[in-house]
Amino acid sequence: MKKIFRAFTVLCMAGFCILSSACGGGSTEGGAQPTQVTGDGEDNTQPTQAAEGDGKDLQPTPTAGDEGEVAQPTQAGQDSENAQGDGKDSDPSETQTVVLDETTVKLLGRTQKLLDKNLLCAHSGSGVEFDFTGRHLEVELVGDSSAREDNEENCARVAVYIDDVRVQDMMLTKRLNKVTLLDGEEPVSARVRIVKLSETAQSVFAIRPIKLKGDESIVPTPDKAHTIEFVGDSITCGYGVDDEVASHHFSTKTEDATKAYAYKTAQLLGADYSLVSISGYGIISGYTDNADKKSGEQVMGKYYDKLGNSYAGFNNSIFPQQIGWDFTRFVPEVIVINLGTNDASYCGRDEAKRQEYVDGYIAFLEQVRQNNPDAMIVCTLGLMGQDLCEAMDRAVAAYTEKSGDAKVHSFWLEVQDTSLGIAADWHPTEANHERAAAKLAEKIRELMGWEEAGE
């Protein structure tokens, strides 16, 4: 039956967001523009900053969630509100509340259902995908402590796709976003995807349970042929990809993980993905403008086993670094590690520091392998400089000799081609990301014996 897309609407309630045309969140590719923006404009959310990189679980101050309870993590299957699959005839006049978990939607990346039944999304690319059947579909997106009108440059950026067309591109400057995606007189079927475009460090957001009429439904989309995880830094996050001016600086407003090499590689391979990436992070040091000063707190090993790491808290009390990640929830066949660009700012040409990087890399490989015993691991580097590529090779060789693990490989990426443009702070443009994705996908196919997607 013909699909009806009518009045893509964003309602601003008690502090919530609007579309990219008003928020500047980027282009809305092929989608309708909102026809109504209403709300009281109030925003009582106060910013709360997480302790940076202390490696310890934070103790939250009890704060009532949207449903009147503290929003602590919970496990899948602990609620009984999902009304699908009970074998009973549906009454079209009744309303059902569908909690989003692995039984009702496909979870993208690292997500966590909370006790208030909101689904928390932290890392770039995290979100949900599902097939909807019905007449009316509205989703509610909940911002964190970064969701303020005076923080448009660094709050969460979120996109919504219908049948692979981006129809919404939002900066969550408000507390509660009600987004009407479908509204018609006749039932339709549509594939819906909600994706966090910006990274975990500056913000998180949550998706509330979805209310449906009794004859409407959502079901998870099918799994893809393969699974792949990417562990990286700003390059993996898509830092500055929507701002092709090298002298410009960081903003979540110009981050878009779907335009970066990692997301594109997963698409080329026909793989479900998970991104674990934070701008400025490294193996032994984050980015530093002083080689004598190591940024030792900004290292991925501290947060690889967490949901994420953010300065912004959800409900002013829940931070993703408080929540341990269950590695059984997403089991990658391949893990790509792209860390070292920021370490290079500390190591320079100092051989002692480079050996420290090698030793730290070996330790990180051991951590990754402990949590992913069967994955092929591809260590890559070079898109923003090949200074530490040889050190990466040494680390892989030393780890393999030490462990006997033959499923770890190194792969140099070509340095970005500046004739294809330069993005903010000299980061790669989408064209350079596409070039890197093609090379990396080819290498992974070679290692795994995978066919091209669609074959």
Q: Which helix (H) or strand (E) holds 137?
A: strand 127-143
Q: 113 exposed, middle or buried (CB, 10 Å; 0-12, 13-18, 19+)?
A: buried
Domains of the chain: 9-41+72-77+88-220 (2.60.120.260), 226-448 (3.40.50.1110)
Q: Is the pLDDT higher at 423 or at 78?
A: 423
Express as a percent the part of the chain with pLDDT over 70. Answer: 79
**φ/ψ (deg, to 5) at 234:** -60, -30
CA 103 to chain centre: 20
CA Rg value for the chain? 22
129-152 tens-digit pLDDT:
999 999 999 999 999 999 999 999
Q: Is the pLDDT higher at 285 or at 20?
A: 285
Is the separation of the CB atoms in 159 and 172 below 8 Å?
no
Q: DSSP labels for 86-134?
A: SSSPP-TTSEEEE--STTTSEEESSEEEBTTS-EEE-STT-EEEEEEEE
Average pLDDT over residues 385-405: 98
Average pLDDT over residues 173-187: 94
Among 77-86, 145-154, 166-175, the minimum mean pLDDT is found in 77-86
Dist. CA 423–CA 334, nearest whole Å: 28
- pTM of the shown model: 0.83
Residue 365 has pLDDT above 50, yes or no: yes
Average pLDDT over residues 370-391: 98
90-106 tens-digit pLDDT:
566 688 999 999 999 99
How confident is the prediction for the chain on average, in pLDDT?
A: 84
Buried b (16+ CB within 10 A) or exposed e, 131-163: bbebbbbbbbbbbbbbbbeebbebbbbbbbbbe
Residue 154's pLDDT band, with cuts at 50, 70 and 90, is very high
Of 117, 177, 116, 181, which is closest to residue 147 (Cα–Cα)?
177
Is the separation of the CB atoms in 158 and 143 below 8 Å?
no
CA 247 to chain centre: 26
Residue 454's pLDDT band, with cuts at 50, 70 and 90, is low
CB atoms closer than 10 angstroms to residue 85: 10
pLDDT attached to residue 137: 97
Q: Give me the residues paired with residue 296 across strands.
A: none
pLDDT attached to residue 41: 34
Residue 88 has pLDDT above 60, yes or no: no
pLDDT attached to residue 194: 98
Average pLDDT over residues 387-404: 98
